[in-house]
Amino acid sequence: MSGGLLFSCAQPDAAAEATLSDLMRERTNQLQEVKKAVEAGLQPEGELFAYEAFTHGTPSRPALGEPGVQGQLMAFESFYARFALDPSLKNYNTVIQTCMSCHERLCPGPLRLIRSLSIEAVEAPAFELYSRD
Ligand code: HEC
């Protein structure tokens, strides 16, 4: 159909945009690496703190694009930015708590996976080196 070509410039390039779930899965993988590093007594650093904001992800349904949900995603990113700036155990677990409280309401599927990211105690000083508490 030739009509499609005429309008192709105005179409958003869906393939170039990450979905909200993609970004959440990436951050989950990253947090698993942070947890591994901390448990091995290493300081999490560098690319473990490079991320794309959840507000840039394309949601799977329009309701998730509404201001109520986007505002919660923005609030989450401010907790996450604080953690990236000061990666203490306390800030890390605040992040995981915030993941869980949203998921309990909006998307319970990955709750077990998210809970498994919590760090109860660390014997190695990895987080304490950063903590300004
Ligand atoms: C403000 C709400 C909110 C916060 C905060 C949040 N999520 Fe999500 N998450 C969602 C929603 C809603 C989806 C589904 C997105 C969609 O369908 O487009 C999702 C999707 C996911 C998925 C993909 C699920 C699948 O089926 O592929 C994972 C994994 C995930 N989130 C993990 C996390 C982790 C880890 C955190 C914290 C670092 C987090 N989420 C923070 C709401 C949230």
**Does a structural domain hold residue 13?**
no
**Does a structural domain hold residue 3?**
no
Give the sign of the dihedral formed by CA 87, CA 90, CA 93, CA 97. Answer: negative
Any atom of ligand 1 within 6 Å of the Cβ of 76: yes
The full length of the chain comes to 133
What per-residue confidence (pLDDT) applies to 103?
Answer: 97
**Does a structural domain hold residue 46?**
yes
**Does a structural domain hold residue 64?**
yes
Any atom of ligand 1 within 6 Å of the Cβ of 25: yes
Residue 92 tokens, joined: 């890390």
In terms of Cα–Cα distance, which of 50, 8, 43 is closest to 29?
50
CA distance 42 to 71: 34
The tally of domains found in the chain comes to 1
**Does a structural domain hold residue 75?**
yes
Query: What's the pTM value of the predicted model, to 2 decimals?
Result: 0.86
**Does a structural domain hold residue 6?**
no
- Please write the tens of the pLDDT for every residue from 9-44: 444 555 568 999 999 999 999 999 999 998 888 888
- Please write the tens of the pLDDT for every residue from 35-73: 999 888 888 888 999 999 999 999 999 999 999 999 999
Any atom of ligand 1 within 6 Å of the Cβ of 99: yes
CA distance 60 to 69: 13
**Does a structural domain hold residue 1?**
no
Domain that holds residue 87: 18-130
User: Which of 17, 19, 21, 112 is the pocket-test mutation for ligand 1 (most atoms within 8 Å of CB)?
Assistant: 21
* Burial class of residue 30 (count of CB atoms within 10 Å of its CB; 0-12, 13-18, 19+): middle
In the reported structure, the alpha carbon of residue 14 is separated from the centroid of ligand 1 by a whole-number distance in angstroms of 20
